[in-house]
Each structure stands twice: as structure tokens, then as C-alpha cells.
Chains A and B, each alone.
Chain A
């Protein structure tokens, strides 16, 4: 299965700033997914990142707040814009690594002060 690297692994950010999370897959994948996991909660899908087209956002998530790039079949970025303490979460990148199995990166733990 694919190996997914995410960075940063954790960060502490100030209110009003933006942070970009990078996700690198060791093989080409058609779709990549960005999830958010708020403290003590389950995972919620933010958007699907497709190479060569705009990301598809789930209800409750908008491009202005969470812009996503997908420049090629192995890389994607998620930006969390104009952060507030409510954005403190783990953000996880994932990809379908074959045989319908979803593989996750180790996550990026954001704390917004």
C-alpha cells in the first residue's frame, strides 16, 4: 500500500494566520482526501483533491477557508486560512492506495492560540 508523508506533524499558530500542510504519496494516486479530526471526535471529510481540477468540498467547508492544491498525482496541500481556536484539530491526508483501502498520513496537529 501507499506510504503517505505529511508535514508539519504539529504546529502552534496565532489567531488570524494561515498554515499550509503538505502531503506526499510515494506512488501516483487518482484521488487524495483531506480529513479533519477535532479533539476527541471522529474524522470528517473536508474535501477530495483531484489532479487537474478543483477540489470538491463537503458541506460546511469552503474553498476560501481551506484552499487545496493538487499539482500532480503524488502531492497535495491544504491551507487553513485565517485561523481561529476552533480550527485546532488534527488534519489528515489520505489516498486510495489500491484494493479500495484508504491509507492515511500521520496527521498534522494544529493548535491555534
Chain B
């Protein structure tokens, strides 16, 4: 099956700093989503982005499908951004079944 690798595995920031999280995948994808899992375990969808660039407030994401990677940018980080960020992909014909990467654990300190 498709492989999803995320980097870095852990990241510690001071409030106000910017960061870039990366997701590499091993095959072409029909669907790529970024999720944030807060410290209480709730998963929130951030972006549906199989290609191109999107922005939502302080967050933006870019997927270069031809080179099989996606980037999540967090600007002016806040303590509430802490948690685990997951990249999840769906390869062709799998009917919306997502394969998750191992995630990036982000800690934003005040």
C-alpha cells in the first residue's frame, strides 16, 4: 500500500514562531488531508488539498502532487496550535479510505 512519511516527528516552538511540516507519499493520490489532533484527542480537518495551495488564517498548505509531497505552514504560532498534525492520503480506487502518516507532535511554548 501507499506509504506516508511525515517530518519532523517532533517540533518545539516559542509562541510567535513560524514552522513548516512536511508529508511525503509514495504514490499518486486522489485525496490528501491535513488534520490537527488536539491534546484531548479530537481530530479536526484542516485542509483537503490533493494539489495546489490553500490558506486559512495563519495556516496554509501546498501539495505538489507530481513530486509527491505536501507542506503545512503555521505562522505566528500560538499555544493552542499544540498537538499532533497528521497527513492522510487516499490512493486511487480506495473509496475514501485514508492512510495516515505517523504525525508531527508540535509543542508551542508561551
Give Cα A92 to B45, complex, Å: 14
Smallest Cβ-Cβ distance to A95: which chain B residue:
B96
Interfacial chain B residues near A90, Cβ < 8 Å: 41
Stretch with Cβ within 8 A of B (4 or more), from A11-19, A20-28, A63-71, A97-105: A97-105
A31-B42 in contact given A42-B102, A102-B33 (Cβ < 8 Å): no
Interfacial chain A residues near B40, Cβ < 8 Å: 106
A96-B96 in contact given A42-B86, A42-B102, A42-B103 (Cβ < 8 Å): yes
Smallest Cβ-Cβ distance to B40: which chain A residue:
A106
> Residues of A within 8 Å of B, CB-based: how many?
22
Interfacial chain A residues near B31, Cβ < 8 Å: 100
Interfacial chain B residues near A31, Cβ < 8 Å: 95-96
Would you call B74 an interface residue if the criterion is a C-beta within 8 Å of the partner chain's C-beta atoms?
Answer: no
Interface pair B86/A43, CB less than 8 Å apart: yes
Interfacial chain B residues near A88, Cβ < 8 Å: none
Would you call A77 an interface residue if the criterion is a C-beta within 8 Å of the partner chain's C-beta atoms?
Answer: no
Mask, B11-51, CB within 8 Å of A = 1, is 00000000000000000000101010000111101001000
A48-B97 in contact given A42-B102, A101-B48 (Cβ < 8 Å): yes
Which of the residues A1, A99, A102 comes within 8 Å of B98, measured between beta carbons? A102
B-binding residues in A (CB < 8 A): 1, 31, 33, 37, 41-45, 48, 90, 92, 96, 99-104, 106-107, 109
Can you list 18 A-B pairs, Cβ within 8 angstroms, ordered by A?
Answer: A1-B45, A31-B96, A33-B96, A33-B98, A37-B41, A42-B101, A42-B102, A42-B103, A45-B99, A90-B41, A92-B43, A96-B96, A100-B31, A101-B45, A106-B40, A106-B42, A107-B42, A109-B41
A-binding residues in B (CB < 8 A): 31, 33, 35, 40-43, 45, 48, 86, 88, 95-103
